[in-house]
Amino acid sequence: MSYCTNLDCPKPKNPPRITHCQACGAELILRDRYRALRALGRGGFGATFLARDESLPGHPPCVIKQLRPSADAQHILDMARDLFQREAKILGKIGNHPQLPRLLDYFETNNEFFLVQEFINGKTLQQEVRGGGPFTEAGVRQFLSEALPLIQYVHDNKIIHRDIKPANLIRRSEDKKLVLIDFGAVKDKVAPAQETADQTALTAYAIGTPGYAPPEQMAMRPVYASDIYAMGVTCIYLLTAKSPKDLDYDPTTGEMMWRNLVHVSDHFADVLQKMLEISVRHRYQSVEAVLRDLDLEPYMDSLAQNLAFPNSTSGRDDSKGDLNSSSNYHQLREGRNRESASSPSSRMAAAIRARRERANSRTGNSGPNSRQGMTTRNSRMTSGSRSGGKTKLTADELKQAYAKGRRDFSLLTLFALDLSKVTLSGTSFVESKLKKANFQNADLTGANFGRADLTQVALRGANLGRAYFTNANLQGADLRGANLNYATLSNANLKGANLCGADLTGARVSDEQLATARTNWATVYPNGKRGLMR
């Protein structure tokens, strides 16, 4: 089917392969290459369409975002053009992050403005909740551990998103990672456009979503903490399955009344309360502060490894969404990026380490057991809520939980589970007990096994690309034929592990570690060479 992008068209649906709308005569092929297939959403100032690029082999899908001003006055068109160009510039600037959609093209036609972006296939968090019900506290913690570093990346680029909500967070089908979409309400803090009284004609386009946007944003004075408020409201939605308009508000303070609707620990409730403060002064001022109070130490290493992206796109013209600039993007997606000391996740990790060291010095703990108190506290706080009070899961329970969107299985006992051929990409098994578990031919791309017990585990033929095994015990593990491309095995115990035929291209592992493992002529070493001699 071809879909007409004329918002006034009475019958926008058309047969495939025709070039002009049968109802209104409008062109159906935009820029001689993009054919809209269906509408994804409509608003007062435009619409969003699923389309395909007919100029490329295979006609890949894309998303076309249209902005049409509500008035034809020249000053309104000029303001719309400025807003449109600013959004295109911002998307070009930050779109190299693999959890943000790439800008592919942008153009103006007949006083209408079009952005073409990468299509993200998956379900929004709103759809996940509608299909599977509310999240547990552990599920929301896992969401925050994934989403907050992404928001930090946006903020580090001097940008406020201003429309964070469950409908704008998609869990991508191919790798189960969260992707933040719809930057139509973005605010560039570096060079914001001068606001005037005439700008009210476009205000609704850039103000965000009522209920998720805090008071200062509704007053057109957003700050970075405005996005933190929206994240807090998103958490309440995930916990209650209720949108902000369905919740009561304190008539005196204007605060959302949510505590009696959720079952979370007092500590987590306090964090949410501070994210949702009406007063900007009393709200969290940075993502790092939220992560610190959440005490997300089990995720510290994976954040540093998987979410450390450059803050600049060297050599790229930020005002253009040229398809030729995608090489850096694909390098990031392939895991070839290396952690930058100045990245936001590195700073988060350093801050958490420093706080842990200060805590240890106060309590007098040191050495390998210095984490005992913290681990115990984290176990009490999170492991019970991870599985409804259970510390053990069956294979079927784990598979069902993953299918419903859960990605955190840290600190659990998963001894000898049969999880062969399952897809568990992006999952956290930090400090879990997985001895003799069967992951043969499973998809564990990007999984975090930090400090996990993996003795005698079966990982033969498993996809472990970009997986994380720092300080994990892999003694006697069967890794024959496993894909360990760009995996991190720092300080992992590989004594007796069978790496015959395994592909370790780009992996972080020392020669001393490999000397303790079993290898053969078919083993591919980190330098990409095959054979017994490296």
Q: Which of 264, 295, 326 is the last residue of a domain?
A: 295
> pLDDT (tens digit, 9 = 90+) per residue, 264-283?
888 999 999 999 999 999 99
65 in a structural domain: yes
Same-domain pairing of 114 and 131: no
Task: Classify residue 462 as left (phi > 0), alpha (psi -120 to 50) or beta.
Answer: beta
Residue 522 lies in a domain: yes
Structure pTM? 0.57
Q: Which pLDDT does position 226 carry in this prediction?
A: 95
Return the closest-CA partner of residue 164 out of 246, 222, 96: 222
Query: Is residue 340 domain-resident?
Result: no
Q: Is the pLDDT of residue 223 over 90?
A: yes
What CA–CA distance (Å, rounded) separates 97 from 179? 10
Q: Mind spelling out the 3-state secondary structure of 5-65? A: CCCCCCCCEECCCCCECCCCCCECEECCCEEEEEEEEEECCEEEEEEEECCCCCCCEEEEE
Selected residue with higher pLDDT from 326 and 525: 525
- Tell me if 68 is assigned to some domain: yes
* pLDDT band, residue 71 (cuts 50/70/90): low
> In sequence order, what DSSP letters do the residues of 245-297 get, joined into one string?
GGS-B-TTT--B--GGG----HHHHHHHHHHT-SSGGGS---HHHHHHHHT-G
468 strand-pairing partners: 448, 488
Coil, strand, or helix at residue 344? helix
Is residue 186 one of the residues assigned to a domain?
A: yes
What is the C-alpha separation between 364 and 370, in angstroms, rounded? Answer: 9
As a whole number of angstroms, the distance between CA 401 and CA 397 comes to 6
Residues 135 and 271 in one domain: yes
Residue 333 has pLDDT above 50, yes or no: no
pLDDT digits (tens, 9 = 90+) for 374-433: 333 343 334 343 344 457 889 999 999 898 888 888 889 999 999 999 999 888 898 899
Q: Do residues 104 and 253 share a domain?
A: no
Residue 325 has pLDDT above 50, yes or no: no
CATH number at 289 reads: 1.10.510.10
Question: Do residue 104 and residue 146 come from a single domain?
Answer: no
Does residue 479 lie in a domain region?
yes
Distance between CA atoms of residues 113 and 141, nearest Å: 39
Residues 414 and 510 in one domain: yes
Q: Are residues 114 and 185 in the same domain?
A: no
237 vs 294: CA distance, rounded Å: 19
Which residue range(s) make up the domain with 155?
A: 123-190+203-295
Q: Torsions phi, psi of 453, nearest 5?
A: -90, 105
Instruction: Please give the average per-residue pLDDT across 54-63, as a whole number.
Output: 92
pLDDT tens digits for range 311-324: 333 333 333 333 33
Q: Identify the pLDDT of residue 381.
A: 38
What pLDDT is attached to residue 186? 54
Q: Are residues 184 and 111 in the same domain?
A: no
Task: Give the N- to C-terminal CA distance of the chain in Å, as an integer.
Answer: 56
In a domain, 384, yes or no: no
**Looking at residue 456, which CATH number applies to its domain?**
2.160.20.80
Q: Is residue 329 very low, low, confident or very high in pLDDT (cuts 50, 70, 90)?
A: very low
φ, ψ dihedrals at 68, nearest 5°: -125, 115
Q: Is 484 in the same domain as 436?
A: yes
> What are residue 478's DSSP bridge partners?
458, 498
Of 247, 269, 295, the residue that ends a domain is: 295
Percent of residues, the chain, with pLDDT higher than 90: 43
**Counting Cβ atoms within 10 Å, is residue 225 exposed (0-12), middle (13-18) or buried (19+)?**
buried
The region of weakest confidence among 245-254, 362-371, 443-452 is: 362-371
Average pLDDT, the chain: 79
* Separation between Cα atoms, residue 295 and residue 46, nearest integer Å: 42
Average pLDDT over residues 292-318: 47
Same domain flag for 101 and 146:
no
Strand partners, 458: 438, 478
Number of domains the chain contains: 3
Q: What pLDDT does residue 130 have? A: 93
Dihedral sign, CA of 189, 193, 198, 202? negative
What's the mean pLDDT in 296-304? Answer: 45
Say if CB 55 and CB 30 are below 8 A apart. Answer: no
Residue 348 or residue 315, greater confidence: 348
Q: Are residues 273 and 421 in the same domain?
A: no
pLDDT above 70 covers a percentage of the chain that reads 75
Say if residue 413 is in the same domain as residue 460.
Answer: yes
Residues 68 and 159 in one domain: no
**Does 165 appear as a known binding residue?**
no
CATH number for the domain harbouring residue 41 = 3.30.200.20
How remote is the C-alpha of 513 from its chain's centroid? 32
With respect to residue 329, please indicate whether it lies within any of the assigned structural domains. no
State mean pLDDT over 316-340: 35
Average pLDDT (442-459) is 93
| pLDDT tops 60 at residue 192 | no
Q: SS3 string of 367-388?
A: HHHCCHHHHHHHHHHHHHHHCC
Examine the residue annotation and report whether 163 is marked as an active-site residue of this protein.
yes
Give the Cα separation of 467 and 504 in Å (integer): 11
What stretch of H or E contains 172?
strand 169-172
* Span 492-515, average pLDDT: 92
Name every residue whose Cβ is closer than 8 Å to that of residue 485 and which is 6 or more positions away in sequence. Answer: 335, 465, 466, 503, 504, 505, 506, 507
Assess whether pLDDT exceeds 90 at residue 446.
Answer: no
Q: Is pLDDT at 97 greater than 50 in this prediction?
A: yes
Q: Of the residues 53, 105, 163, 478, which is catalytic? A: 163
What integer pLDDT is reported at residue 199 of this predicted model?
43
Q: Is the pLDDT of residue 203 over 60?
A: no
